Structure 1
Amino acid sequence: MTPAERVRATLAGERPDRPAVTVWRHWPGADQDAAAHVDAEVRHRDALDLDVLKLTPSAAYLAEGWGARTVDRGDPLGVRDYLHRPVSEPAHWHALPELVPADVVSLAREITTVRLARARVGPDVPVLPTVFSPLSVARYLAGEDVLLTHLRDDRAAVVAGLATITRTLVALVEALVDAGADGVYLSLFPASHRLVDAGTYREVALDGDRQVLEAASATWLRVVHFHLPEPLLEVAPALPAELVSWEHTGPGPALAEGMRLTGRPVLGGVDQVSVLRDGTPAGVRAAVRAAWAATGGRLVVAPACSYPLAVPPAHLRALVEETRALGG
């Protein structure tokens, strides 16, 4: 089977010749240039023989399109720090302009990244770019505390800003698909009981998430990723996606319960910190086997999120090798 055939078999509830597997990380520095980013991603994929090329850009790329300024300060995950956020007052949400992705440097870079990646890996390796949900982008534009304050005190202003962000994201996803993406990995950063309740999320965010995913309706591999512990998995059934990813080892549903709540197969299974970074190769192998059993094989084996830059290469090899050893 090709990598794409393995993933498609998993989505269909069939057993591939061997389980599909992938891992991903940030690429600080390289992620500021499309060619350098693709080179790092493809070398990483080829070295581990991964089944999905999940492209992981700077998490700030969308906020930078609206004027955020960021800097790389050596974060352990490779994410950038914010020097300036363009939203501090409710009126700023109304003033956000709708962006044309091809005309904005940080967004156009990600379209080029997909085009270059597609050319490098050919048609048989799924290419999955990362997009952040409208409410996630709002969090980056304002910061978490300001966003939550505005949601409480002037929700209409936030909703107006989210509408503008959503239209831009729809255009971006359409461009990514045209460039050769097989789907999108949509990160729902604030979709957690720690930040908002399910009613608020459904009211202000869910329709925007749905629109962004529907912009990739011609593709076959859409992932919704719940970034924080205590994820709002109860909203997942309303989203058009083929795989669900969440922090399954923290507070919140374990793998089997999450599958029941979402009705979807899983992308994940291995904790990227306690197991993949801080554990042992034997512990990584045990986590792979446990995840496979818990999901009944409805699983693309992966970390729950981007793995820290300090993960030992031997741990990555153990994850891939144990997955391959499970067979079909």
Structure 2
Amino acid sequence: MEVENDYRALADTIIAFQEKYEWDFIKVNPRATYYAEAFGNIYNKQNYTDVLPELVNYPIKRAEDLDFFLQEKAAEYNPFYEQVLLAKRVRKGVGDNIPILQTLFSPLCILTFLAGHNPYPGVNKPKSKRESELNVLIEKNPAGVKSALEKITEVLKRYVRDTLENEIDGFFYSIFGHGDEGELAADVYAEFSAPYDNQIFETIKEKGGTVMFHTCGPASHPEKFSQNKYIDIIHWADQEEHTPSLEKDMPWLNEKIAAGGVDQNLFKDNNRDKILNQAQKAADARKGLPFILTAGCGLPVVTNDESIWALKQAVVNGKK
């Protein structure tokens, strides 16, 4: 975990990973907390639980704190600028011919972090933080939520411009579980996420960037987002029980490029044969169509090397 807190070391690790496996494009995977650090979250980076360090303090503990958050000084841009330098170093290390996508979380996901919560799907909300749950913040102070989201969005737009001006090709944009109506009602998403997402998408497109959109979890509803004119690629966990499976005929995809194919949970152990089987089925289903073969979500921290090689073999086989 030490590597992700030093942009030079992380860039060198990403470059080495690319040199080892020779992927068709690079998704930069920075530390998940840098956005929240810029707006006031404090972490103990010596103590991790899975992908996140221990949260020490956060600015929004109740709805009233949104007003204080808005009155505080501007965001600390250094955590963002480190990521600009990270992407720039990766570009220099891999050359000009490999597409690079930087990872970006939505403003609503960042607000979730700033309210002390983990936005990953399926994570239990601590009883001690009920006053800072999104639905509570939205119910008690909707204007404050929107103003906070606008503040976050403006910083992200600056970051997008800086990143794309350094020869990066686009963004892997995650809304975590906010596509799941059990997590966030559709009308709430339409009011409190979509307008800010679209501002960022517009900025990406103004700079000629690609948008790879990730909707996370077992009920992620990628079909809800396929009409968005800014999205180029939709990535979801197609192996989950309540998500659309990859098929030849997916009219709802609206000519977007599908990405996925393999259950990310298989990478925890050496599941070479299962990975190859799922990958082959996905490749057959999308044969003759634009398609990105990848895990359906982020790889586990304990990913097995043999399983990664199995995915690489599937990619090579698919190109023959």
Instruction: Work out which of the residue numbers 310, 313, 316 in structure 1 matches 2:308.
Output: 316
Which residue, 91, 95, 104 being the options, matches 1:118? 91
Matched, 1:53 2:26: yes
| Pair 1:252-2:243 in alignment | yes
Structure 1 residues 117 and 92, CA, compared in 2 at 3 Å: closer, same or farther?
same
Moved more, 144-153 or 240-249: 144-153
Q: Which runs of 5+ in 2 are unaligned?
A: 118-129
Q: Percent identity?
A: 21
Paired position in structure 1 for 2:268: 277
8 Å CA contact 1:129–1:185 kept in 2: the answer is yes
Determine whether 1:188 maps to 2:188. no
| Aligned-pair Cα RMSD in Å | 2.1
What are the superposed Cα offsets for residues 151-191 of structure 1, whole Å, 9 maximum, x if unpaired?
23322221111111111111111111112210011111223
Partner of 1:134: 107
Instruction: Mark the runs of 5 or more structure 1 residues left unpaired by the alignment.
Output: 1-27
Cα drift, residue 298 of structure 1: 2.6
**Which of 186, 192, 197 does residue 209 from structure 1 map onto?**
197
Alignment of 1:1-328 (within 5 A): 28-72=1-45, 73-76=47-50, 78-94=51-67, 95-96=69-70, 99=74, 104-144=77-117, 145=130, 146-189=133-176, 190-217=178-205, 218-233=207-222, 234-250=224-240, 251-256=242-247, 259-263=250-254, 264-273=256-265, 275-278=266-269, 280-296=271-287, 297-327=289-319
Per-residue CA distance 1:126-154 (angstroms, 9 max, x = gap): 11111111111111111345222112332
Could you tell me the TM-score, scaled by structure 2's length?
0.86
**CA shift in 2, pair 1:203/1:239, >3 Å:** farther
Q: Distance in 2 between matches of 1:98 and 1:111?
A: 22
- Normalising by structure 1, we get a TM-score of 0.84
Residue-by-residue CA offset, 1:188-224 (whole Å, 9 max, x unaligned): 1223222112111111110111111221113342111
Residue 229 of structure 1 contacts residue 252 of structure 1 at CA under 8 Å; is this kept in 2? yes
Shift of 1:323: 1.4
Distance in 2 (CA, whole Å) between partners of 1:71 and 1:236 is: 39
Q: Give the distance between the partners of 2:114 and 2:234, measured in 1 at CA.
A: 25
